[in-house]
Chains A and B, each alone.
Chain A
Amino acid sequence: MSLPAPANAGPRRRRLLLLLLVVASTVGAVVVLGTILAADGFSLLELAILVLFSALFAWITTSCWITVIGFLVRLLGLRRRPRLQDAAKPVTDARPSATALVMPVYNESPERVVAGVRATLESLCEQKTDGRYDLYILSDTTDPEIWLAEELAWSRLNREFAGRVDVYYRHRPRNLARKSGNIADFCESWGYRYEYMVVLDADSVMSGDCLTRLVRRMDRNPRVGLIQVPPVPVLRESLFARSQQFASSVYGPPFASGLAYWLEGDSNYWGHNAIIRVKPFVEHCGLPVLPGREPFGGEILSHDFVEAALLRRAGWEVWLADDLGGSFEEPPPTLIDHAKRDRRWCQGNLQHIGVLAARGLRPLSRLHLGMGVMSYLSSLLWLLLLVLSGLEALRQTQTEHIYFIEGDLFPNWPVSYAFEATTLLAITLAILYLPKLLGYFTLFGDSRRLVAHGGAVRAFVSVVLESLMSILLAPILMLFQSGFVISILAGRTVRWAPQQRADEETSWREAIAAHWAHTAMALIAGTVSYLYIPSFFLWLTPVLLGPALSIPLSRFTSRVDVGRKLQAWGIFLTPCESDPPRVLQLLVRNMSDRTPDVVPELATSSLFEQAIADPFMNALHRTLLERQPRAKSERLRLDGLIARLQENGSQALTREEKRDLLCDPTSMATLHALAWQARDEAPANGGPTPQGAAAH
């Protein structure tokens, strides 16, 4: 696909300014720490501390400066889009664009998926749209029951939106290349029908207004290959999730504005809630299998960053639409679920080490990939810094100061660096907490937002509480992430598991299993430092407190009743809770009146049994299957499974065996006939036999 005429040069000055700010503040902090450490000359240990400190300081300073810039951008009203135009499509272009909303799903709750899809489509249908919109549910589900439930749910959706939005369903029998393979299969098979695709996650919801504006922007900006809308986490009620939702709602906007301001067309892709121009994506974003074995080789797990880098390499712009609302997702409900998701992302991001130096990538794409790696590596570096600092403190306590050096008449007085140390601590704390404060101050720029967050006082209390929670939880996450990095470096891979999306509280058992090591480490480190380096112990207390209390903390923060109570008091309130937008209202309504699709006569049997016995379900399933030629040996194996099912019932088959039968239309037709045959031979009864084939 030929690229339209090049646009203006990138915002180099802004990027240079950010680089200077980060470098200057890091150099300043390193000089101060270097002065303290160099009092008695540099040891190797001190040098290592200085190197780690400089890397980590640069890391936290970058996000701080991005937020500061974003705050100023919002304050000064600089969020104009001189290049990314949003106006209506010119009338000369007669053909309206076609957009596919694609939702890859993998063993997700069908009711939740359908509730989200329905809300998005209802919101879209309420809009006046120019082009055509189709929705594809791209299933990679392996669980037979969920697969069949998805089909039933699809048939209902399809009927509901007939004539307004075409809803399609496709199930892949083999999950090649996971989510990226799922999307690639869509692009290869049906990409020819669409100009754009909007990628949704299973828990994504996007408003019709957001979707139509995205399409309009793509129409008006032919050089843009992808626009990412920052998804706002919503709808969870546990204490942990509500604090995350609040943090994202308050601190997120200035950070996103800062990112968008200095990145412009060099932004990144976050995997979902983004619109993509299909043709360049097909041409330039086919992912290779990385050389070597997992975890670093094999299929690319975190495909989004790489796809954005490939689009940029081909010359297409990637934008972050920080000014668009109406993009939502659900956060993990508990700390443990958050960590489980991190484990998956961690492996994907560390895999990018092998892509960082790929030929032809833009420097900023390399920076995105590097920052992705650093977001997990930083935890390990932080842990290392703590350990080395402890060792250095121990060394200092065991070193006696020499007041009189041989041959020198004057005493060698110890020099105090308390001022420098306090200044450095104050600067570090400021860098950590300034973004939170700026996020809070941003609320005052829009009175409606301030009220929606509970007002000035409640919002401030929420900021304080969230900061306290993050002080306690951050070291636990550091330990989790350090463990993930070490296990990945040791060659352990992660399996593909669906994300926990419902509000389920952590049990004591789960909490102990997940956190016993953290508690033990904190207690050991605390005891050792208290006994041998009492002066260091006090400094370490804030870091050790969270891990030491991790078991009760993890359980407490997962509690929904606490989250609800705080919501009633107006703490951690977000606009999506106090004044939910229309699309979220639709989602909540759909979720509350969702009813599972079952055949009434067969309500007690499994969906697998229903798909065998019930004429409608059997037909629905068979019409959605794609015919695949099967080898004779495979056919014999399937016949063997049918025989086993007849003899021992569906319980005799494993999940994989059921799936194999479900994948084969011939077997499903045979089983259906056998079920009805069995009904003929059984004593008279009123309805079809769910266990028909088994009873025969």
Chain B
Amino acid sequence: MLLQAKHLKKYFQIQQGLFSRHLQVFAVDDVSFNIKKGETLGLVGESGCGKSTTVRLILRLLEPTGGSVFFDEQDILAMNYKRLNQMRARMQMVFQDPFGSLNPRMNIGSIIAEPLAIHKIAMGKEKAEKVSHLLEMVGLSPTCQNRYPHEFSGGQRQRIGIARALATSPELLVLDEPVSSLDVSVAAQIINLLMDLQEQFQLSYLFISHDLRMVKQLSHKIAVMYLGRIVELCPVDRLYSNPLHPYTRALLSAIPSLDPLINKTRLILKGDVPSPINPPPGCSFHPRCPQVKPECREIEPELIESFDGHSVACHCRG
């Protein structure tokens, strides 16, 4: 097992009003999952459900309120900063916004060389060669090293971000909506690039998206998040053929179809996502659930794994 996240929690404290009423935002609440070597876990859910917070907890860019993260059997959260920074060579991240995640005042060569220098992987001439090699690997010309981020398009910048993440030859790559700000054809190119790289280097991915079609392309397993919790976690084909959680069903029914003759019945959910400041008691999905039962309003369903590796947190399961 390469990565294990156990009962991760992140509550943000916020102050409201003049006499500071302390409130908590339950951004991530009891999230657990595993990723094996060479495997991709897709994390899907709508905006604000805690996907990005979850990956930041795993990389310890945010300190969790509770829970634990094991990378290659080592406890990430127990490490001191020196040890953690060394560990970061093995787990890298590609960011959502290709415009903001590259320092506008550094040229491409030094952006990609930065991780090489920090982890003392390559120096001098060897470093320059490695940078050229990385640029070629992601399909960019090695001659563009002296150019600055603003001279590149969104898709090219995302490739630069991927090259930077690959520089330390990581085992785990966390992809935080890497294609959501790109148009469809460019996004498809990036997805293909990621698939090639995975095959070549046996990379493990934690892939975040809100686009279920993209996730299907790339993932082996999928976790569906709703309001800071995982509601369903299973192998990709099972999720698409036999979704068990009502929220997953509603999400899948929202995928637009290419064939206009297929008459899909869309499950349209009522209302909005409740506020994570004051989540509803019981199952957090119950105010919008079409199959709500009395116990849903009181008892929080646990994520229970069935014999075929299909986990779901719902009282109506089965």
State whether these chains interact. no
